[in-house]
Amino acid sequence: MEKINRFIDIAVIVLIPVALFYAFIYAPIEKEMGVIQKIFYFHVSSAWIAFFAFFITFLCSILFLATNNYLFDDIAESSSEIGIIFCTIVLITGPIWAKPVWGVWWTWDPRLTTTLILWFIYIGYIMLRKFVEEYDKRAKFSAALGIIGFIDVPIVFLSIRWWRTIHPNVLQQGGGGLHPDMKTALIVGVIAFTFLYISMLIKRTKLAYLFRRLENLKSSQGV
Amino acid sequence: MKYFKTIFNIVEKDIILELKAKEVINSMLIFALLVVIVFSFIFEPGADYKIDIAAGILWMAIIFSGILGLNKSMMNEVNGGNLTALLLAPIDRSAIFFGKTFSNFVFLLFMELITIPIYTIFYDISLLNNFIYNLITLLLGTYGFSLLGTLFSIISVKSRTREVMLPILLLPLIIPLILAAIQAMNIFIKGEDIVESYKWLHLLTAFDIIFTVVIYLIFEYVIEE
């Protein structure tokens, strides 16, 4: 485990500068949007990590309820926190990009709105963890929220897409035609961020595991 | 059969208790009416566009007073240790959950039964045009709300912040439900093509079924005493 951890850390240190190189130097500058389009590589990579992290929380919540192994609870907790960080990055980089390109900071597009609601669901998840004292209740309650919250996300997306089709969306993004070099830069960015996520997850899970052991020791010693 | 009898007994107990104390329904009812009144200051008296937002205001009244009622109803269970006693009883734990869900459902419906006629008078809106459809929307929306609301009121009552936790956990999760219920009712109130509303009714039905099944599956593992 220690070896894998070190390997991933080194991979992150190498991959992040590579991703920066691909995004800023290798990929061509977009004709219409200009330099601002560069944020796209970090925005999309962060969005991918946010969804992936919440999926891991969902998966570990199910595994925890099924096995009652607290390691899964540690992973679920750690992954949700990392997910919130990347979800926040998505919500900050999005408007920075949208303002010069679309002319508005925010639009009630299904993807934007779903990401915002996702952020609220997992902020609730983290708050719940902070405010439930007994560790077994905390683990079980947050597992329930981790499962229900994740199942809710596609329903939220669907409902908002139907809602927006009633009021046609003028600011639809012209997706699709990405320059091949841009696509490469995006793929490199996603890979680098995925390694960053794994590295952070291992460290945070270790911390959660140690913290839980410390709490157990304290309660067994009657401190 | 025993499963449904447990559900029925819990609902019966809650109704008898509520008939005596009248705490949950009364506070919900007054709060719902207050929301209806306060929200009417959004627009000019007699403005045309009020028909566009009237359904939204009704649902805000239901949701906010519902959250108040759910908290109150669960606090009644926890004070005096009734919830603990129920969970220790040799009965299916998810039956306890669905019992609480149905009694909250009944309380909410009762609150709506009184709020809605008053609301239609204040806003000069008729829900009788597509009465059956409006009724279906209300039933589906209220059931879904009491379903997730009951689960998260059990959870939030055990947290340090208690009442504050319920809306924070519940509101983002029920956004599809609120959206679908408002959009469907908008169509019925404005007398638009009913076919347009089917997708919203389907969404509400799917929401209710999905979360009934999910909670049925996980409740046993989540709530232990």
CB B214 to CB A152 under 8 A? no
**Alpha carbons A74 and A207: distance in angstroms, whole number:** 9
Chain A nearest C-alpha distance from B99 (Å): 19
Q: What is the pLDDT of residues B163-176, one digit of tens each?
A: 889 999 999 999 99
Closest CA to A187 of A44, A4, A3, A14: A44
Chain B nearest C-alpha distance from A136 (Å): 9
Q: What pLDDT is attached to residue B48?
A: 78
Q: What is the pLDDT of residues B158-212, one digit of tens each?
A: 888 888 899 999 999 999 999 999 999 999 988 888 888 999 999 999 999 999 9
Contact residues on chain A for B67, CB-CB shorter than 8 A: none
Q: For helices A135-166 and B131-157, what crossing angle results, to 10°?
A: 150
CB A131 to CB B160 under 8 A? yes
* Residue B69 CB partners (closer than 8 Å, separation 6+): B24, B25, B27, B28, B104, B107, B108, B111
**Alpha carbons A91 and B197: distance in angstroms, whole number:** 32
CB B214 to CB A148 under 8 A? yes
Q: What is the pLDDT of residues B15-50, one digit of tens each?
A: 998 999 888 899 999 999 999 999 988 888 777 788
Helix (H, G, I), strand (E, B) or coil at A34: strand
**Alpha carbons B185 and A45: distance in angstroms, whole number:** 39
Cβ atoms of B69 and B27 closer than 8 Å: yes
CB B169 to CB A128 under 8 A? yes
How sure is the predictor about A171, in pLDDT bands with cuts at 50, 70 and 90?
very low
ipTM of the complex: 0.91
- Residues A41-65, mean pLDDT to the nearest whole number: 94
Q: How far apart are the first and last CA of chain A?
A: 32
Q: What is the DSSP string of B13-60?
A: HHHHHHHHH--HHHHHHHHHHHHHHHHGGGS-TT-TTHHHHHHHHHHH
CB B176 to CB A128 under 8 A? no
**Which residue bears the tokens 């499963």?**
B3
What region, left, alpha or beta, does residue A178 occupy, with left being phi > 0 and alpha being psi -120 to 50 degrees?
A: beta
Chain B nearest C-alpha distance from A133 (Å): 7
Q: What is the pLDDT of residues B106-157, one digit of tens each?
A: 999 999 999 999 999 988 888 888 889 999 999 999 999 999 999 999 999 8
